[in-house]
């Protein structure tokens, strides 16, 4: 399938005994959409952020926290002890504490484990496995000295801030643009043109041209240490700071001339309409069960941050208060326990009690998504996550599948 889309109402095209829903999605499809929302890494604001600590014996402890890997979510609710393999008697080695995402049928999980390194004169940590069905991120490296009977805290190197190995989860919208491929195309075309020119020159012409290039190079060498005035195409300065002062006269280059009209990063983002872009949160509740009255839209009490990269976001009225006026992308889902095959379940997103996105379908136990909406908000607007069942039901506010996500895009 080239085009993937969700959420849409599912229609049962099967039978009573064997229902078939024509808009059902797989776990792989859900992970694909999650990868559009978040980058790989650990959640910095959840628990201890999965920090690894020593116990002065041959174990280490992975603290509480959460992570996102290739569209799948992970949470550790209690300290987890991992055993380090016995040390070599003659050589040092470096082990690596990783979170391993595995979609093979016999595993289907994310687990914390220790990848044991190879003892050597100059040991290195094991390479991360990052394949289509098995993907690892590193939490920490553990230096195991020869003959060691315990691991000290000084032997642990935290790798969570190393974006090449792990990094913190941030909103994947907006994403940066990689222009490396375009530059390589231009460079290849230039090299081919230069090769063509070189082949067209005979020895005499090439020699004369080389002499002219050499003479020009000599003149440039003599001039390069001189300060060239602005009226001769120079900057009138010998440093970048002095050059900017001379050319701009301490004035910000306006947007109409390719600048930002500002002298600070904050002013530049504001002038370019990007003042709040990238501010994002993901929130859920902290209770295990919430009763749902029949046919009533019930607000899910939100009070726990999974992601919050700006403390200006706050909880209010069981929802999330938007700190700025701008444009946001909003999505959410609620885990609802099945109340029977005939029970209809729904998830609703509201701004100041007005509906902005929803889905109400026949479904068994599981996450019901309200979909995604791009809306304008004012500072102080409150976004809430709500659930509904056709008969008396139960929602799970603290389930990992229950979440409200808000990200500023303008």
DSSP states of 170-181 as a string? -B-SS-----HH
Residue 395 CA: distances (Å) to CA of 347, 389, 401: 10, 9, 11
Percent of the chain, pLDDT > 70?
87
pLDDT at position 179 over 50: no
How far apart are alpha carbons 251 and 190 in whole angstroms?
36
Say if residue 391's pLDDT is above 50.
yes
Residue 66 has pLDDT above 70, yes or no: yes
The three-state secondary structure class of 270 is helix
Q: Above 70 in pLDDT, residue 182?
A: no
Percentage of the chain exceeding pLDDT 90: 52
Helix (H) or strand (E) holding 32: helix 27-37
The most confident of the ranges 218-227, 234-243, 270-279 is 270-279
For the segment 183-194, the average pLDDT, to the nearest whole number, is 70
Residue 308 has pLDDT above 80, yes or no: yes
Quick check: pTM over 0.75? no
Q: Inform me whether the pLDDT recorded for 363 exceeds 90.
A: no
Question: pLDDT at position 264, please?
Answer: 73
Distant-in-sequence, close-in-space partners of 405: CB < 8 Å, separation ≥ 6: 37, 280, 281, 282, 330, 331, 332
Separation between Cα atoms, residue 8 and residue 21, nearest integer Å? 11
- CA-nearest of 382, 358, 144, 187 to 281 is 382
CA 119 to chain centre: 34
The rounded distance, in Å, linking the Cα atoms of 237 and 49 is: 49
198 pLDDT band (50/70/90 cuts)?
low
- The CA distance from 118 to 102, in Å, is 23
d(CA 99, CA 376) in angstroms, rounded, equals 37
Mean pLDDT of the chain: 85
Least confident stretch, 66-80, 139-153, 193-207, 214-228: 193-207
Q: Which domains does the chain have, with CATH numbers?
A: 42-158 (2.60.520), 216-273 (no CATH), 280-408 (2.60.120.40)
């Amino acid at each position: 399938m080239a085009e993937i889309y969700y959420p849409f109402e599912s229609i049962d095209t099967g039978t009573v005994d064997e229902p078939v829903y024509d808009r059902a999605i797989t776990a792989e499809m859900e992970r694909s959409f999650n990868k559009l929302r978040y980058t790989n890494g650990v959640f910095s604001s959840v628990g201890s952020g999965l920090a690894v600590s020593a116990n002065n014996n041959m174990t280490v402890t992975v603290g509480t926290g959460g992570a996102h890997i290739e569209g799948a979510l992970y949470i550790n609710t209690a300290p987890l002890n991992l055993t380090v393999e016995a040390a070599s008697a003659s050589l040092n080695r470096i082990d690596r504490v990783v979170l391993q995402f595995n979609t093979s049928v016999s595993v289907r999980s994310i687990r914390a484990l220790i990848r044991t390194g190879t003892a050597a004169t100059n040991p290195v940590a094991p390479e991360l496995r990052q394949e289509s069905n098995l993907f690892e991120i590193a939490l920490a490296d553990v230096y195991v000295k020869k003959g060691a009977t315990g691991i000290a805290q000084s032997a642990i190197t935290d790798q969570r801030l190393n974006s090449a190995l792990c990094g913190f989860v941030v909103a994947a919208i907006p994403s940066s643009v990689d222009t490396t491929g375009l530059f390589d195309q231009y460079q290849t075309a230039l090299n081919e043109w230069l090769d063509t020119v070189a082949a067209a020159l005979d020895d005499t012409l090439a020699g004369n041209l080389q002499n002219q290039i050499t003479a020009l190079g000599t003149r440039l060498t003599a001039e390069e240490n001189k300060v060239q005035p602005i009226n001769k195409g120079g900057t009138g300065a010998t440093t970048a700071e002095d050059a900017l002062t001379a050319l701009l006269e301490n004035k910000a280059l306006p947007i109409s001339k390719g600048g930002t009209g500002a002298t600070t990063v904050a002013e530049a983002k504001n002038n370019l309409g990007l003042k709040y872009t990238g501010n994002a949160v993901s929130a859920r509740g902290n209770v295990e069960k919430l009763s749902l009255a029949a046919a009533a839209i019930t607000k899910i009490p939100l009070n726990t941050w999974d992601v919050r990269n700006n403390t200006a976001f706050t909880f209010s009225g069981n929802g999330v208060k938007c700190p700025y006026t701008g444009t946001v992308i909003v999505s959410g889902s609620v885990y609802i326990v099945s109340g029977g095959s005939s029970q209809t379940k729904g998830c609703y997103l509201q701004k100041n009690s007005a509906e902005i996105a929803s889905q109400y379908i026949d479904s068994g136990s599981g996450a019901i998504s309200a979909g995604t909406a791009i809306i304008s908000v004012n500072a102080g607007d409150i976004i809430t996550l709500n659930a509904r069942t056709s008969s008396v039901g139960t929602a799970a506010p603290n389930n990992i599948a229950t979440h409200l996500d808000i990200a500023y895009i303008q």
